[in-house]
Amino acid sequence: MKPLIIIPARGGSKGVPRKNIKLLGGKPLIYYTIEAARSVFKDEVICVSTDDLEIKDIVEKTGLKVPFLRPTELSTDLAGSAEVIDHAINFYEFQLGYVPDTIILLQPTSPFRNSNHIVEALKLLDGNCDAIYSVIETKSNPYFVLVEESPEGWLKKMLDAPYTRRQDLPTVYELNGAIYIYSRDFLKNRNLSSKIRKFVMDKRFSLDIDEDLDFKIAEFFLEKNLL
């Protein structure tokens, strides 16, 4: 395997300003993901993709070199992860001569995803599989609890299904955002019918930092040693 680990960390953030470097347990949030990645991979294949000089400086204090500053057009709210991934791949391929065949995307907003999770998820990737997504079993089952508003203003179920008891519902999973693993061919084709496997994680390790309340929950987990 020739991996490229991409940690996306732009400077802007609506929910929590500067959240990628906001202190959690006495250290910047992004350090948790960097430490997890470095426990599995060599520094040379770990790419923190950022547009922000302060984030770059804070990351490089760990000894990990940030290879580039991301272009401004890839650092807005409208920029998608696919473009950020493609930019990093192209940089490594055409500027550094390194052609990865497996891309691992680790978002800094999942601080409790650790090296063991990454290793176990990678074990699921083989020639019969195009990608691995980390998930949790969700309580928000679309067959039972999710509703939408009709044009007339009335609530109705989002999905019609022949289930009257919760016990009869099929198991449904929710992406937790902690780990995405892609084969290079999958990224080239972006085929929605590709073969994607799940890597199920415990809810304790799946906290996604998106707002101030999430930070408070994360701090509580650390203070009470709940991980």
Asked if 50 contacts 70 with a C-beta cutoff of 8 angstroms, the reply is: yes
Facing residues of 52 across strands?
none
Rounded to the nearest integer, the mean pLDDT of the chain is 92
What is the pLDDT, as a whole number, of residue 130?
93
pLDDT at 25 over 80: yes
- Which range has the worst mean pLDDT, 31-40, 53-62, 124-133, 160-169? 160-169
What is the pLDDT, as a whole number, of residue 121?
98
Per-residue confidence band for 192, with pLDDT thresholds at 50, 70 and 90:
low
What is the pLDDT, as a whole number, of residue 142?
83
- Which range has the worst mean pLDDT, 19-33, 67-81, 128-142, 174-188? 67-81
What is the pLDDT, as a whole number, of residue 173?
95
DSSP assignment of the chain: --EEEEEE--S--SSSTTGGGSEETTEEHHHHHHHHHHTTS-GGGEEEEBS-HHHHHHHHTTTPPP--BPPGGGSSTT--HHHHHHHHHHHHHHTS----SEEEE--TT-TT--HHHHHHHHTT--TT-SEEEEEEE-S--TTTT-EEE-TTS-EEESS--S--SGGGSPP-EEEEEEEEEEEHHHHHH--TTS-EEEEE--GGG-----SHHHHHHHHHHHHTT--
